[in-house]
A and B are shown apart, each in its own frame.
Chain A
Amino acid sequence: MGLIVAGCDVGSVSGKVVLFDGEKILAHAVIPARPLPGRTAEDVLRLASEQAGVVPAEIQYMVGTGYGRMQVPNAQKTVSEIACHAKGAAWLRSDTATLIDVGGQDCKVISVAPDGSGRVLDFSMNDKCAAGTGRFLEVMAKVFEIPMEQFGEGALRAQRALGISSQCTVFAESEVVCLIAQGNDVDEIIAGICDAVASRVSSLVSRVGLREKVYMSGGVAMNVGVKAALERRLGVRIWSLSDNPVITGALGAALFAANALRHEGRG
């Protein structure tokens, strides 16, 4: 049996697992978060293992990350999401200089070392508030009854973005409901919502300093409206890490697992 390590990222919205053999991704899985983080980890690990045709007992080392990392059963080690996202991004794209990770309940901007190591040079995070996060977009998508994966598309069709002035998710929702009631164009409202997220994120970018190339990870990386608004605000192109940016943190955790195994002389 060759090397098999796992990275398990238990976030507020979803659970992600990457199985890694030291050189390539063997399998990955993503499931919606269960009420208990430990259960999310078990279920997503089982799914990824099935895909790879291995049993969890064959996994030689596992690193947990995400807000539920302490509840990942059998994880030998935990590492913060910041470090895992940076590590995963640098493995996928060694020229990653700035990584924007917009997750379910937080938003992180990470300055990554230029040597391809994935070392974190600096980072900034949203403070105490869901504005500028995936949860904010989720609440808004529900108002329009548009699936999350399609939510940003309307913004690209809009002629202009209607400003959303409320910083609070709950008040912003009320504001959006008012804008709809006033008969405003739905795409323009969506463009305004995407721009509101981009506005929060770009202020975090300015705290760490913008360096190119800029990549995005996390679920919101797939939102074309937010990505376009961010490119407009930052004045740079934002590149995609992979087809599945959601698993970047889990991948980084798997890379940490492989390193740990090597340190123990087992990898």
Chain B
Amino acid sequence: MSEYKGFHFKRFDFSKCLDTKIDLIDLINNTVGEALKKQPEKVRWIFDTMVQYIDELNACRDYPEKIVYRHFTFAPEMVYAIEGISFVPEALTFIMPTEYLCALVDEGRAMDMPDHWCGFLGGVLAPLLAGRLPKPKAVLHCNQPCDNSVAQGSVLAESFPDVEIFYLDNPYTDDEGDVQFAMDQLREGFKYLERMLGKKLDLDRFREVMSLSAQAYRLMYEINEYKKAIPCPIPTSVILRATSGAFYGLTGTERLLRWLEKHRDDAKQRYEKGIGGWREEKMRLVWNLSWPVFDYGVYDWMEEAFGAIAVAYHASEPFYQPPDIDYSKASYEELLRALALRNNNHAMGRQGRGHLMTFVNDTLKWCKEFRADAVVFAGHWQCEANWAAAQLTKEKLMEELGIPMLIMTVDQLDPRVVSAEQMVSRLEPFLEMVAEKKAQGG
């Protein structure tokens, strides 16, 4: 631990020679899985999306014939519709202990992984190439949001030469032509999954999944209404941690609905009592692009020292508007259309496709909706597409809303790239500046 103004940031021990050849699912069960069980009852629900992800990992062992690898910006509804097990290999890096993640990045580099691969994608390259992950029956991949994601498709092809990959070309916009373009591909995608898994898509199951997805999104919009309140009834670490888990992996499941309901009820209860999250709110931030997960102490410090609450997070804000249809009777085409719109607006994928202004305008929208005082662009160093929009976003924010934006580099998972202390060294002067601006009525 290192201390800063009474706050303790994690100290990692990278001197240990960790055995990276161990079973990663066992590792996650024995470390994160056990730690989650020990969370106090009151807050345990917050982590349920992580528990659900671990349960899906474990299900891979029992049902290997159902494993579908899914790129993290590919809508999971497609996998759930065909009753596959959605396995996002790169999500393992999010959930494993940091020291192991770093050891796996190093192992990947020893296997000639280029230095410019980030911790998120790079941490899983070695286990993939070395055949240490469960073998998929099918692989859903896509062309966004970054070059390394695209290159990961080649890694998957090399890792599983006898498994055909379905590659989705995400369209730039939600124009009618682009929606049709996506629908045509998803139609082919289902045929692919049927062939690879050896089972037919059940239309009723597809209806059920898209209905669950629509309900989840409606709950997310409802939660967002509470987030707009001053003070925001949800603490930063919950906004950053929990909702993004929901967006990336679990839409279309019953269990996610239950979790979102708890999330909504918690926000509602606090809102009705007029109370904020865990600490007094003094300023509201939109957190953009990436939130380092190796040390949540940074966010606690930010809240404690400055009352700075991240009320919106780039990768967990909903954009998909579920079509207002009767899902129990919806036609295959109607469901496919909903899935195309959902997939086009998947967290991060939406801002990683097409025109740069999508990223800029989305940020402006969040700032207006959530009455933000400032924006933190924590740029994951490998998210090239979004980095290209950073300065433009900053200028537009100042020009149109008079809102300042901090631009800082991070790696979401690897503290050796940028440590918690380095993040704080950037955040502190910025938050001081915002506090002074607010004090002067700015």
Contacts and interface: CB of A to CB of B under 8 A. Distances in A.
A120 B422 contact: no
A83 interface: yes
B429 interface: yes
Interface string A46-84: 000000000000000000000100100000001111110
Interface stretch (B138-146, B211-219, B402-410): B402-410
A23 interface: no
B425 A128 contact: no
A-side interface size class: 10 to 19
B408 A80 contact: no
A80 B407 contact: no
B408 A123 contact: no
Contact of B429 (A67, A82, A121, A128): A82
A120 B437 CA distance: 9
B432 A78 contact: no
A124 B407 contact: yes
A128 B422 contact: yes
A83 B429 contact: yes
Contact of B409 (A83, A127, A207): A127
A81 B398 CA distance: 23
B248 to A, nearest CB: 27
Interface of chain B, main secondary structure: helix
Given A78-B5, A79-B432, A82-B433, A67 B404 contact: no
Nearest to A83: B432
A125 interface: yes
Interface string A188-217: 000000000000000000010000000000
B55 interface: no
Given A127-B408, A207-B391, A80 B422 contact: no
B406 to A, nearest CB: 9
B425 A83 contact: no
A125 B433 contact: no
A83 B391 CA distance: 22
Nearest to A125: B426
Contacts of A121: 404, 433
A119 B436 contact: yes
A67 B4 CA distance: 11
A120 B432 contact: yes
B429 A123 contact: yes
Contacts of A119: 433, 436-437, 440
Interface of B: 3-5, 391, 394, 398, 404, 407-409, 417-418, 422, 425-426, 428-430, 432-433, 436-437, 440
Lowest 7 A-B CB distances belong to which pairs?
A82-B429, A80-B429, A120-B433, A127-B409, A80-B428, A83-B432, A80-B432
Interface of A: 67, 70, 78-83, 119-125, 127-128, 207
